[in-house]
Structure formats: structure tokens, C-alpha cells
Amino acid sequence: MSSTISVLDAVVLGVVEGLTEFLPVSSTGHLKITEGLLKIPVDDPAVVGFTAVIQVGAIAAVLVYFLGDIRRILGAWFRGLVNPAARGEHDHRFAWWVIFATIPIVVVGIAAQSLIKGPLASLWIVAGSLVVGSGVMWLAERRGTQKRGEKEVTLADTMIVGSSQILALLFPGFSRSGATLSASLLLGLDRVSATRLSFFLSIPALTGAGIYELKDALGAGVGAGPLIVGTVVSFVVAYASVAWLLRFVARHSINGFGLYRVLVGLLLFGLLAAGTLEP
């Protein structure tokens, strides 16, 4: 067992990760707040690595939930690799687009590691990003036409939405889901199509982050027990969250999430200013 993260801590953090990874409220922000309340050092390399690894549990939930879609898209991709006639299929092109759209966040993630794990990990950044991200989400709801469906997604759309994940990478609290949903809505996609695109783009980005951080998490002293427990709990809770979110966005705007984010951000500012939480 890690001296930094216990099994009980792992359960709590797994629940938080599973609940918030795909909701536009910032899983990273909520994890850092929770770590602060649990007196776990948020900038400890072991903690940063642990949170990246348990995201794999949430990604596994997406893989299971969208297994049929993923099989169809991968099938089209492989067919196109060997059969030129199949390369015109939307699913074949979409698979390539997801790969291309992941490249920007990978490049920035590797290049900015010292910032991401250092000064940008501050809870002051989290609080500010929660509030600013809410404004972006409100603007997306207000300006988005929601006239385009999933089959109308283009390479340009996918690249823009994929690149928007960089905001959440650099500014924990902005929310990867919030950034991708906002970008999709501003591009005219309807909420369900925007949410599904966000899910598909999350698979390579978060899986890669988890694998990349695994060595640091284990090397820095996080035991296999807490990692396994946190990942399993994250999977179970995230699966339920994915199913709920798709039903919710079909009938409701994301403004409610924005209001919640503002309240959490202001509360966090107050806790930091009072010294209740260490930044």
C-alpha cells in the first residue's frame, strides 16, 4: 500500500473520477479538491500519476458502453486499409480523424509536463478554470445552432474539438468534457452528437495518459492495490454516468453544469483564501 494513497482514499477518488470524468464539471478539478480535503499532496508525482491511471477505468466504461459502435468503426478502418473501395466510408474516415485529432494533445502533453505537474496543478488554477470554463459553456449553448448530426462531422470539426482538450490539459478545472462539448456546440452539432464525439475522442487521449503515467505512479510509491481498487471503482461509476449523461443531454442544456461549476469554483476560492485548503 502506498504511503501517499490508501485503499480507502482510492475508493473515494475512484468514485469522484467515475462521476465527473464525462460530465462537463472537470474530473481533474474535483479530484484535486478531494485530494486537498483528504490531505493528499496534489502536486506529488505519485498522486498525479494515480489520477491519470484510474482514468483508464472510466475509459474502459466508454469502451464497454460503445462496444458496438467501436467494433463498427474499427471494422471500417481495417477494411479501408486493405480495400481502397472501403475508404470512402464515413466510419473509416472518422477513425483516421480521431487519430489525427489526438496528435495535438499528445504533443502538448509531452512538451508541457513540467508545467502540468508543477505550477498549473495549483488549486487556484482549478478554481479560476472552473469559473472561466462555465462562461465558455454558456456561450456555446447560446450560440450553437445544433443543426448538425453525427454523420455530418468533418475532419475539421474533429481536429478542432480534439485540440480543445488541450485547454483542460493545461488548466485543470476547465474540463475536457466541457471543452469538447462547447467546441462541438459552437460548430453547430446537436448535444447528443457532441457528447458522442467527446466520448470517442476521450478514448485515445485518456488511455494514452494513463499508460504514460503508470510508470511514475508505481515508481513514486503508489501500490498496485490502490491503483486496482481506484480503477475498478472508476469503471463502475463511470459506466452509470455515461448512460445518464446521454439521456440527459438529449432533453436538457448544459447550463446547469455551468452554474454548478461557478458555485464550486467560488467555494474553492473561499476555502483557499481561508486557508482551509492548501493550493
In the chain, pLDDT over 90 holds for what percent of residues?
A: 59
pLDDT class of 271 with cuts at 50, 70, 90: confident
* pLDDT reported for residue 39: 84
pLDDT at residue 38 above 50?
Answer: yes
User: Residue 148: beta bridge partners?
Assistant: 189
Give tens-digit pLDDT for 87-137.
Answer: 889 999 999 999 999 999 999 988 988 888 778 878 899 899 999 999 999
CA separation for the pair 216, 123 (Å, rounded): 22
Q: Who has greater pLDDT, 52 or 100?
A: 100
The average pLDDT across 152-181 equals 93
Q: How confident is the model at residue 79 (pLDDT cuts 50, 70, 90)?
A: very high
SS3 labels along the chain: CCCCCCHHHHHHHHHHHHHHCCCCCCHHHHHHHHHHHCCCCCCCHHHHHHHHHHHHHHHHHHHHHCHHHHHHHHHHHHHHHHCHHHHHCHHHHHHHHHHHHHHHHHHHHHHCHHHHCCHHHCHHHHHHHHHHHHHHHHHHHHHCCCCECHHHCCHHHHHHHHHCHHHHHHCCCCCHHHHHHHHHHHCCECHHHHHHHHHHHHHHHHHHHHHHHHHHHHHCCCCHHHHHHHHHHHHHHHHHHHHHHHHHHCCCCCHHHHHHHHHHHHHHHHHHHHCCCCC
Percent of the chain with pLDDT over 70: 95
Judge whether 130 and 262 are in contact, CB under 8 Å. Answer: yes
Does residue 2 have a pLDDT over 60? Answer: no
Q: What pLDDT does 18 receive?
A: 94
pLDDT tens for residues 197-207? 999 998 888 78
More confident residue, 1 or 265: 265
Least confident of 14-23, 98-107, 192-201, 203-212: 203-212
Give me the mean pLDDT over the 7-34 stretch: 90
In this prediction, residue 215 has a pLDDT band, given cuts at 50, 70 and 90, of low
| Average pLDDT score over residue span 264-275 | 90
Reply yes or no on whether the pLDDT at 86 is more than 90: no
What mean pLDDT do residues 41-54 have? 76
Which whole number is the average pLDDT over 39-60?
Answer: 80
Position 53 scores a pLDDT of 81
**Is residue 222 predicted with pLDDT exceeding 80?**
no
Q: Which residue has the higher pLDDT, 62 or 219?
A: 62
Round the average pLDDT of the chain to a whole number and report it. 89
pLDDT at 1: 36
